[in-house]
Structure formats: structure tokens, C-alpha cells
């Protein structure tokens, strides 16, 4: 299929250099970044605890924490155990807390397709009533969407025609 064929997806006419999914993955897509967020969302906030619990090499964890702090997703908070040097805990910022629905959605997908026969190791529950949380798609008009095929991408206010953008592969 070529970009000028009648059945080509409309998205082929739009630039991707300002894609917010791509920009998000530049931050969250590094190996281990979501695991670090999982730890912090689960209340594991100290470096050594994270390293042990996640089984992550020291330098990888250091790099992921620095990335998340640099992007304002986590903040460092000093603490000191008596008789030891001052250290930092990592706390979620409002920007980081906004990722919680993403974590619930990732867990729901993993629970459905990757859990052990006994079930998922962790469930998310509503604090008020104790019921299990599930991710939901809902439009701005309040309609809950049960079938994802009812959702369609469309050009947003920041869309740019492909001709206005110079698309260059990013170096890794």
C-alpha cells in the first residue's frame, strides 16, 4: 500500500515529529523505567530498597531515577537514618501521579495475558469500597466505551501536514 492509495490511513498525511506518544516513550520507554515507577507507586521509595526489590543494576536505577526527576515525574526528598549519611527518597509529583491510570492499564493487560494460573500478584482496589479497579475508556461527553474499535484517532489541534515536517530517524 502506498501513501497515495485510496485506502491509505489518513495518519500517513501527518507529521510525527511532535507525536506525544513518541515523546512519552522517550521518557517511559527505557528498559526499567516503568519498573521504577511500579516500585514508587507501591511505596518503595528508597534507592537500596528499589534496587533489591526490582533486581536492577545500580547504574541503571541511578539513570532511570535521574531521568524521572529531570522530567518532573519524581522528586527527591532528603532523609537521614541516625548515624548515617543523608540520602534521598523518591516521591511522585502531580505529573507522576497522573501516570497511575497508565500503570493500572498496563497491569490489567498483564493480568489478562501474562499472569500465573493462580492470578495476578497485585490487584488495585478502590480505597472507599474495596472493589477491584479496572481501566475504562470514556469520552468527554461521559460515554463509556466498551469496544475499543469504537475509538478513532483524528487530527488534533497540533497536527501538521507531513510536508511541513522533516522526518529524520532518531539516533539511539
pLDDT in tens for each of the 172 residues of the chain?
Answer: 454 567 888 889 999 999 999 999 999 999 899 999 999 999 999 999 999 999 999 999 999 999 999 999 999 999 999 999 999 999 999 999 999 999 999 999 999 999 999 999 999 999 999 999 999 999 999 999 999 999 999 999 999 998 754 555 656 5
In degrees and rounded to multiples of 5, residue 116 shows phi and psi of -65, 160
Q: What is the pLDDT of residue 1?
A: 45
Nearest-angstrom CA–CA distance, 126 and 132: 6
| Percent helix, strand and coil across the chain, each to the nearest 5 | 40, 15, 45
pTM for this model (two decimals): 0.84
Domain 10-157 indexed as CATH 3.40.50.300: no
Question: By the 8 A CB rule, do 65 and 57 touch?
Answer: no
Task: Quote the longest CA-to-CA distance of the chain.
Answer: 72
Nearest to 13 by CA among 141, 159, 129: 159
Question: By the 8 A CB rule, do 128 and 155 touch?
Answer: no
Amino acid at each position: 500500500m502506498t501513501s497515495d492509495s485510496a485506502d491509505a490511513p489518513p495518519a500517513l498525511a501527518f507529521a510525527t515529529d511532535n507525536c506525544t506518544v513518541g515523546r512519552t516513550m522517550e521518557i517511559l520507554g527505557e528498559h526499567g523505567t516503568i519498573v521504577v515507577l511500579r516500585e514508587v507507586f507501591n511505596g518503595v521509595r528508597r534507592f537500596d530498597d528499589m534496587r533489591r526489590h526490582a533486581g536492577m543494576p545500580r547504574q541503571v536505577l541511578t539513570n532511570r531515577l535521574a531521568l524521572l526527576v529531570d522530567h518532573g515525574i519524581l522528586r527527591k526528598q532528603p532523609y537521614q537514618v541516625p548515624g548515617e549519611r543523608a540520602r534521598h527518597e523518591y516521591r511522585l509529583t502531580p505529573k507522576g501521579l497522573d501516570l497511575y491510570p497508565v500503570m493500572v492499564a498496563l497491569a490489567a493487560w498483564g493480568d489478562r495475558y501474562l499472569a500465573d494460573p493462580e492470578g495476578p500478584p497485585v490487584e488495585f482496589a478502590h480505597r472507599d469500597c474495596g472493589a477491584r479497579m479496572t481501566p475504562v475508556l470514556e469520552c468527554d461527553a461521559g460515554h463509556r466505551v466498551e469496544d475499543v474499535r469504537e475509538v478513532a484517532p483524528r487530527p488534533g489541534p497540533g497536527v501538521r501536514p507531513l510536508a511541513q515536517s522533516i522526518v529524520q530517524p532518531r539516533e539511539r
